[in-house]
Amino acid sequence: MTTPRSLRGTSRTCAPPAEPPAPGAGGGGGADRAAGVPETRVPETGGPGPVAVDRRELRACLGSFLTGVTVVTFRRGTQVHGITVNSFTSVSLDPPLVLVGLDRGSRAAALLDSCPYAINVLTEGQRGVALHFAGRPMTEPVRWAAPGPDEVPLLADTVGHLVCRPWRRYDGGDHELLVGSVVGFQVTGGPPLAFFRGGFPRLAADSRTEPWSGSLDDPANAQRHQSAHPMTTEGRT
């Protein structure tokens, strides 16, 4: 299956989930803008002079950073919208804040001004859903779950989700950085969908293996390391 080099799309109107919510029809998204010619960025304050950046090469470099894949879903009136986003990060625990980056030219960026929304973390089996909301519609209907707080539409079968209300919005060049206040969340579990260099690599089959890989920072090995250290057992060298 051919996959796009970027999963950043523009949203397209979706059919709202049936009432009560059940597997039903959904909508898609739009493809990311094509890479352009090198552009020159001038620092706003001091520093070195203008730096020419080749957008295509920069995108390839940034694509070497492994990310998860999310779909941001929200409702405007009777219409449900969704957009695939891999530019997602946690920001703060107190208050609970998360951030997504939206293409400034996308419909989602224009519509997500004051309405609540959900960030759905996709599972490895939801590659079709990721492509669907990035502009390549699936043939089968999108599966929806019961709506979350504020009647925010939620995708079914995900690793989990966060329901947010708009908190701050920042200029991010050709993207807008939307910081949301988390008002609800749920973790269902399962292997997450990963995105790397334009494709969907598979993670280790057993996600329960030790994540620390024998590191000295492994909490499970702390006691063993302490008992082997003379300063911790004897209080002297």
Query: Any idea how long the chain is?
Result: 237
Confidence category of residue 221, pLDDT binned at 50, 70, 90: low
**If 0-12 CB within 10 Å is exposed, 13-18 middle and 19+ buried, where does residue 169 land?**
middle
CA–CA separation, 11 and 135 (whole Å): 8
pLDDT at 56: 84
pLDDT at 33 over 50: no
Tokens for 81, please give them: 């919208």
Greatest mean pLDDT among 47-56, 99-108, 216-225 lies in: 99-108
Q: How far apart are CA 111 and CA 230, in angstroms?
A: 62
CA triple 115-164-30, angle to 5 deg: 65
pLDDT single digits (tens) 69-98: 999 999 988 889 999 998 999 999 999 999
68 or 40: which carries more pLDDT confidence?
Answer: 68
Taken in order 163, 147, 75, 114, the sign of the CA dihedral is negative
- pLDDT at position 18 over 50: no
Ranking 53-57, 77-81, 215-219 by mean pLDDT, the lowest is 215-219
Q: Which residue has the higher pLDDT, 226 or 21?
A: 226
Q: Over the stretch 113-159, which tens digit does the pLDDT of each residue have?
A: 889 999 999 999 999 999 999 989 999 999 999 998 889 999 999 99
How many whole angstroms separate alpha carbon 165 and alpha carbon 118? 9
Three-state SS letters, the chain: CCCCCCCCCEEEEECCCCCCCCCCCCCCEECCCCCCCCEEECCCCCCCCCEEECHHHHHHHHCCCCEECEEEEEEECCEEEEEEECCEEEEEECCEEEEEEEECCCHHHHHCCCCCEEEEECEHHHHHHHHHCCCCCCCCCCCEECCCHHHCCEECCCCEEEEEEEEEEEEECCEEEEEEEEEEEEECCCCECEEECCECCCCCCCCCCCCCCCCCCCHHHHHHHHHCCHHHHCCCC
Residue 233 phi/psi, 5-degree rounding, is: -95, -35
At 235 the pLDDT is 42
Tell me the C-alpha distance between 144 and 23, whole Å.
5
Q: What is the pLDDT of residue 69?
A: 93
Residue type, 180: G
Q: Which residue has the higher pLDDT, 22 or 38?
A: 38
Query: Looking at the predicted structure, is the pLDDT value of residue 36 above 80?
Result: no
- Cα 55 from Cα 60, distance rounded (Å): 9
pLDDT of residue 215: 61
Residue type for 149, please?
P
**What are the structure tokens assigned to 130, written together?**
């990721």
Q: Are 159 and 166 in contact (CB under 8 A)?
A: no
Residues 159-213 pLDDT 10s? 999 999 999 999 988 899 999 999 999 999 889 998 877 777 787 766 555 565 5
Predicted structure pTM score: 0.67
pLDDT of residue 51: 75
Predicted confidence at residue 208, as pLDDT, reads 56
